[in-house]
Structure 1
Amino acid sequence: MELGIGMFGDLTYYGEKEQFQAPGERLKEMIEQVKLADELGLDCFVLGEHHRPDYAVSSTEVVLAALAPVTRHIKLGSGVTVLSSADPVKVYQDYATLDLLSGARAEIVAGRGSFIESFPLFGYDLKDYNELFTEKLELLLQLNKEEVVTWEGRFRAPIHKQTIYPRPERKLPVWVAAGGTPESVFRAAKLGLPVIFAIIGGMPEQFRPLVDFYREQYLEHGHDEKDMQVAIHSHSFVSESSEALIENYFPCYAAQMDRIGKSRGWSPYTKMQFRGGMGPKGALFMGEPVEVTDKILQAIEMFGLTRFVAHLDVGGPEHKDLMKTIELYGTKVVPEVRKALKV
């Protein structure tokens, strides 16, 4: 069982100045935050890719490479690489390089992308959304499996008896990220790939049928049960006081949900929704250490998890607050989860 953290590089919004934090400042803060997570013994860090003004990270590989020499043990992965709008050859090269730099700590979490800004930016048509991911995942896996590659597809120039350099000293771990679609789950299960579910709203229990479907299809396609890995990635925040968390963190969390929701037709995010999400059956792993601990243990039992990723920086909370929540997560929550699981 692995316990980690995730970030997107959300920029703090300064309302009085009506501007976002400088991206360079946020990136330097992130390095400090992940260094702390590594020192506290967390298992993994995953970093998302976005191409919007409210996020600092568009190139996960570069940021993870900056983290490699200042951390020692923590796994460094994307969360996610929007593979549909990327070149799998370049993705493979970048993460092979990261793996060599970090001492075999790199991971790729491949997804179709719930944000669509990268498609027009890199010249792809959204009508090919599913086909792009299917084809590019196939190529990425072939690059990871074979040293000399011959491949031909629809969206990229063919490759004929070529080797991609540098070569990592192992096969890179490749995960598939899933939202709520059975197609994504089936693809991961059929290929025997580990799956990570983004559970950020509603009730986690609603995902149980999808997790059961993954397990069923994974075994049906002949993969070994001992190799099966299932993770969830959920919005999280830890505070010494739940009421203080609601008072201080809700405003920036709601502002970011509303920024995203404006383009998706969502209603304004309310404090009632936030409290509901923090409740025992909600999807927000937020509150005091004991509350977050209990909720993680409940999720592990419900889904048979092998990994839980606490996504911490939604809305761009200030650096000191992120450092505090990482400290509480690493010193209060994670040890209690490990103790309960006897790991």
Structure 2
Amino acid sequence: MSEAMNMMDKLNIDPSEGLQFGVYSLGDHLPDPVTGTRVSAEERIREFIGYAEAAEAAGFDFFSLGESHQEYFASQAHAVILGAIAQATKSIRIGSTSTILSTSDPVRVFENFATLDLISGGRAELVAGRASRVGLFELLGYDLRDYEELFEEKFDLLQKINQDRHITWSGQFRAPLNNAEVLPRPAQESLPIWRAVGGAPASAIKAGLAGVPMVMAHLGGTTSVFKSTVDAYRQAARHQGYDPAALPVATAGFLYTAPTSQEALKDLYPHVNDGMKRVNGQGMPKQLFAQSVDPASIVNIGSPQQVIEKILHQHEVFGHQRYLAQIDFGGMPYDKVMKQIETIGSEIIPAAKKYTATKTEELN
């Protein structure tokens, strides 16, 4: 059985159980735009742990936390926080929303996540990304002009470390390794390593050629627009000799539900708009955001039934195995996030899993 075939088992992906659901946080630490207040960094980190505990109780399959190194974030040491989450949970799989591999040493990244895997009893995953916010390059001593080359070299090295206990390797951006033994080894045979991609097909093609799972993140747009990225990923995998059906695809984006779509838009918009202004320097136009409730939009905002219908449509278009919901961005109050987790767990996940589950006869 190939590594790609093993990946479905590693991630506990069973098509007969339907689409997997996860919660993800970027680790932002923003003020509530409604009240103007902001919790302390200590409290914010404890919120991440609370989210994971609640997600596990609500029946989610996965919880992930991002890494960022700038103002308005509290998850610079995301692997440390994930270690605390591993101790606070028992069964939910845990990992990075995106570990910024371009500005990290793959040896240290592997050491951290192999250790996390041991703490969690074999539940750790790693999503490797290139960074959409680039201030960390200067902070951590890297040249932004090497953006693409840094990631590709380090991603290749991380995969080699994951596959082999002893490594002999040389590259452009770090000292060579000569029969180096990288320890500890994870509880799993090897770490599940995903590649994070945006909407453009180029990075998806590289993920497909490497035969690794893909997480496709999105801020907005129609579901149909993103189909070309998923198709390009699977075509590249097939070209390289991998079975695309054995390579998991995850999508990730905003989810917010309320009794009506109008309430959902009204509740979420201030958080998204103000948060994006502070983090990216540019807010979200209100008219553009209002389009999120359209059935064709890839953003899952609306009543529980509307969100279910959109997720089912996306699954029909993409045939993906996991969906990751971002529900805490922009200073969203803790109690509101916990309510979202409860509602998603009780109303959305059961229905979505029921209608995306592959019948036994379809698997044969």
Global fold match (TM > 0.5): yes
| Partner of residue 27, structure 1 | 45
| Partner of residue 206, structure 2 | 187
Shift in Å, 1:150: 0.6
Q: Which amino acid aligns with 2:171?
A: G
Q: In the alignment, does 2:290 pair up with 1:271?
A: no
Cα distance in 2 for partners of 1:172, 1:334 equals 26
Q: In the alignment, does 2:103 pair up with 1:85?
A: yes
Give 4+ residue runs of structure 1 displaced > 6 Å after superposition. none
Alpha-carbon deviations, 1:233-274, whole Å to 9, x = none? 111112233332222322122111222342xxx4x4233222
| Partner of residue 15, structure 2 | none
Structure 1 pair 315/162, CA: closer, same or farther in 2 (3 Å)?
same
Spell out the pairing of 1:288-327 with structure 2 (5 A cutoff): 288-327=303-342
| Partner of residue 335, structure 1 | 350
Aligned residues: 339
Q: Which amino acid aligns with 1:325?
A: Q
Cα distance in 1 for partners of 2:54, 2:37 equals 28
Shift in Å, 1:22: 1.2
Cα distance in 2 for partners of 1:271, 1:131 equals 37
Cα distance in 1 for partners of 2:216, 2:44 equals 26
Spell out the pairing of 1:205-216 with structure 2 (5 A cutoff): 205-216=224-235
1:8–1:49 contact (8 Å) kept in structure 2:
yes
Shift in Å, 1:3: 1.1
Unmatched 5+ residue regions in structure 1? none
Asked which structure has the greater RCO (Cα within 8 Å, sep 6+), the reply is 2
Q: Equivalent residue of 1:46, what SS?
A: strand
Taking only aligned residues, the RMSD between alpha carbons, in angstroms, comes to: 1.6
2:166–2:179 contact (8 Å) kept in structure 1:
yes
Shift in Å, 1:12: 4.0
| Partner of residue 285, structure 1 | 300
Spell out the pairing of 1:138-217 with structure 2 (5 A cutoff): 138-169=156-187, 170-217=189-236
| Partner of residue 76, structure 2 | 58
Shift in Å, 1:213: 1.0
Alpha-carbon deviations, 1:83-102, whole Å to 9, x = none? 00011000000000000110
Alpha-carbon deviations, 1:71-94, whole Å to 9, x = none? 111111111001000110000000
Q: Which amino acid aligns with 2:224?
A: E
Q: In the alignment, does 2:278 pair up with 1:259?
A: yes
Q: Which amino acid aligns with 1:284?
A: V
Cα distance in 1 for partners of 2:210, 2:244 equals 13
Cα distance in 2 for partners of 1:260, 1:59 equals 18
Structure 1 pair 18/292, CA: closer, same or farther in 2 (3 Å)?
closer
Cα distance in 2 for partners of 1:129, 1:248 equals 37
2:115–2:186 contact (8 Å) kept in structure 1:
yes
Q: Equivalent residue of 2:228, what SS?
A: helix
2:22–2:60 contact (8 Å) kept in structure 1:
yes
| Partner of residue 121, structure 1 | 139
1:9–1:316 contact (8 Å) kept in structure 2:
no
Unmatched 5+ residue regions in structure 2? 1-18, 359-364
% of aligned pairs identical? 36
Answer with 63-72 or 278-287: which moved more: 278-287
Shift in Å, 1:19: 5.9
Answer with 123-132 or 224-233: which moved more: 224-233
Q: In the alignment, does 2:115 pair up with 1:100?
A: no
Structure 1 pair 327/135, CA: closer, same or farther in 2 (3 Å)?
same
Alpha-carbon deviations, 1:136-194, whole Å to 9, x = none? 00110010001111111111011111111111131100000111333311211111001
Cα distance in 2 for partners of 1:92, 1:86 equals 10
Candidates 90, 111, 128, aligned match of 1:110: 128
Shift in Å, 1:18: 5.7
Shift in Å, 1:275: 1.5
Cα distance in 1 for partners of 2:200, 2:38 equals 33
Candidates 84, 94, 105, aligned match of 1:76: 94
Structure 1 pair 16/247, CA: closer, same or farther in 2 (3 Å)?
closer
Cα distance in 2 for partners of 1:331, 1:278 equals 21
Shift in Å, 1:48: 1.0
Shift in Å, 1:7: 0.6
Q: Equivalent residue of 1:327, what SS?
A: helix
1:12–1:318 contact (8 Å) kept in structure 2:
no
Q: TM-score, normalised by structure 2?
A: 0.89
